[in-house]
Structures are given as structure tokens and as C-alpha cells.
């Protein structure tokens, strides 16, 4: 990765909660989701400074919202339509998810690259989430080609500011950011994982950009998560990176033992 265009003197205080977010993607039936959540609830302990969030398929959200203990585990949607209502066959709006989920993953690389969601789609979704009292988890990340050509920070700046372009200074504190380098997602090779130095440089860049756009207070208080082939063997290293406030987990969140192991790692890092 190219050197981050941020001075070394920047320092942000990391005193906020830790978030462990499991993105189940298009896995598990409603019944399987319910059984898995039940097992997690039996083993997860409530903690004030550690927030556990799972993002099941849309069809499982409503029944799981009646099942979960929100002191232990909260729900996130994986996507939603930014229109509050209308003739959009097959879509689910943030308005319909209000009261069911507390969070929504927005701008995930799979939504951007497979379903061709644009920066306009992403910023409209962020605005709709906030309008409906749902915390947006705005995902940003560069592809391998963009990284190779030295475009990482241009891409991240465009995605970050594009996603937040309709967010006021009053609402920005309600947003979370997730850095997911596309080139590191779903890799089984340790050599292709993002290094702590790479991630630290990006988080500094994100906070510097937020400071320039909003304020240093905002920059220091917005939670930044990391996602990209997170598993029990590397979760601890990622969670000890300065300015990382949690993890967005894909494959490992589908395996109970691995997900619980990561949660316990987060507890140990916090203590």
C-alpha cells in the first residue's frame, strides 16, 4: 500500500465500545438462523462496552427480532431500499425494518461490485437509515487493481465522503465506518491478508478525512470496524490496532465456535 497522506502527529483517543458484527450473507434458512441465534444467546454474556451484532438474511430478521435478547445480541440488515415506500417489487425499506433492526450494513463490496450499487445508492441508503433511526455501517474498500495502481486513498475518500454527503453534523455521530479491502476478503492465504500497518494507515486517513469534513471530536468518536478474512487466529491482532473499534466478520461468523472465540478475544483485548 502507498504511504498514507496523513501526518504522523495525528492522534485520536480510542475510548469507545467494541463492536463484533457477523454478516451471515445468503446463508442459513429461517429455522437454521433461529437455532444458531439460540445457541449464541446461551453462550454470550451481556457487556456494556462490547456490542455483538448479527446480520441474517432479510427473511429471518422479523422472527429473530422476537427471539433475541437485545442486551446480548442485536440485529443488522444486510441491505435495504432507501425509498420509504412505493412500487418497488421485491424490495424492503428501512421504514419497514424500523423496530426490527438496530443497524444496517451499507455499501458492502458485494453490493457495489456484484449488484452495481453506486455512490448515489449508498448515500441515499445512509440517509434513509438515519431517517428511520437505524445505525448505518458504511463499508468502504479498494480493489486489488486500485491498490496496485496507487489509488487506495482516492477510492476511500470518494466512497467515504460520497456515502456521507447527505449526513449532517448532527447525525454524523450516529454512523459507523467499516474498512473492508476487497483484495483481502475471503482469502485463505495469510500472505494476502491486510497487515496491521496497512489498516492503521487507513484508519488514520479515515479519521483525518472526517476531521477535515466535520471536526476532530467527530473524527475521534466514530467507530471504525475492520473486515477482511477475519478469523480467530488474527482477530486479536486486528483488535489491538490503534483506532480500530471492532470487526465485521463474514465466514467465521457462520461457525459458532469461531464466532464465540472472536467474541472472547474481544473481551480479553478490552480488559
Catalytic residue list contains 113: no
CA 76 to chain centre: 10
Catalytic entry in 110, 117, 146, 180: 180
Distance separating alpha carbons of residues 39 and 43, to the nearest angstrom: 7
Catalytic residue among 108, 146, 208, 221: 108
**Residue reference for cell 486479536:** 236
Residues 208-239: b if buried by 16+ CB within 10 A, e if exposed = bbbbebbeeebbbbbbbbbbbbbbbebbeebb
DSSP E strand stretches across 78-150: 103-106, 135-140
Residue 180 is among the residues annotated as catalytic for this protein? yes
Query: Alpha-carbon distance 9 to 208, whole Å?
Result: 11
CA–CA gap between residue 70 and residue 132 (Å, rounded): 19
Closest CA relative to residue 174, chosen from 207, 127, 226: 127
Q: Which residues contact 138 (CB under 8 A, 6 or more apart)?
A: 106, 107, 122, 126, 160, 163, 164, 175, 176, 177, 178
How far is residue 168 CA from its own chain's centroid?
A: 20
Under 8 Å CB-to-CB from 158, ≥6 apart: which residues? 119
Residues identified as active-site:
108, 180
Amino acid at each position: 500500500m502507498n504511504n498514507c497522506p496523513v501526518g504522523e502527529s495525528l492522534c485520536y483517543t480510542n475510548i469507545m465500545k467494541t463492536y463484533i458484527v457477523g454478516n451471515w450473507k445468503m446463508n442459513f434458512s429461517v429455522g437454521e438462523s433461529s437455532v444458531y441465534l439460540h445457541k449464541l444467546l446461551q453462550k454470550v454474556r451481556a457487556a456494556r462496552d462490547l456490542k455483538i451484532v448479527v446480520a441474517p438474511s432479510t427473511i429471518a430478521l422479523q422472527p429473530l427480532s422476537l427471539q433475541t435478547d437485545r442486551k446480548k445480541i442485536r440485529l443488522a440488515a444486510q441491505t435495504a431500499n432507501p425509498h420509504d415506500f412505493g412500487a418497488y417489487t421485491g424490495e424492503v425499506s428501512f421504514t419497514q425494518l424500523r423496530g426490527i433492526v438496530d443497524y444496517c450494513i451499507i455499501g458492502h463490496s458485494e453490493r457495489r461490485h456484484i449488484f452495481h450499487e453506486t455512490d448515489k445508492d449508498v448515500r441515499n441508503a445512509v440517509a434513509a437509515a438515519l431517517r428511520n433511526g437505524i445505525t448505518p455501517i458504511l463499508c468502504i474498500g479498494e480493489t486489488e487493481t486500485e491498490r496496485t495502481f496507487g489509488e487506495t486513498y482516492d477510492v476511500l475518500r470518494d466512497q467515504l465522503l460520497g456515502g456521507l454527503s447527505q449526513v449532517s453534523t448532527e447525525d454524523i455521530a450516529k454512523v459507523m465506518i467499516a474498512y473492508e479491502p476487497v483484495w483481502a476478503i475471503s482469502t485463505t492465504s495469510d500472505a494476502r491478508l491486510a497487515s496491521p500497518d496497512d489498516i492503521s494507515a487507513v484508519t488514520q486517513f479515515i479519521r483525518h478525512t472526517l476531521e477535515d469534513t466535520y471536526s476532530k471530536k467527530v473524527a475521534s468518536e466514530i467507530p471504525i470496524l475492520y473486515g477482511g478474512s477475519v478469523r480467530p487466529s488474527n482477530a486479536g491482532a486486528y483488535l489491538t490496532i490503534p483506532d480500530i473499534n471492532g470487526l465485521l466478520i463474514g465466514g467465521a461468523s457462520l461457525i459458532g465456535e469461531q464466532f464465540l472465540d472472536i467474541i472472547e478475544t474481544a473481551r480479553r483485548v478490552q480488559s
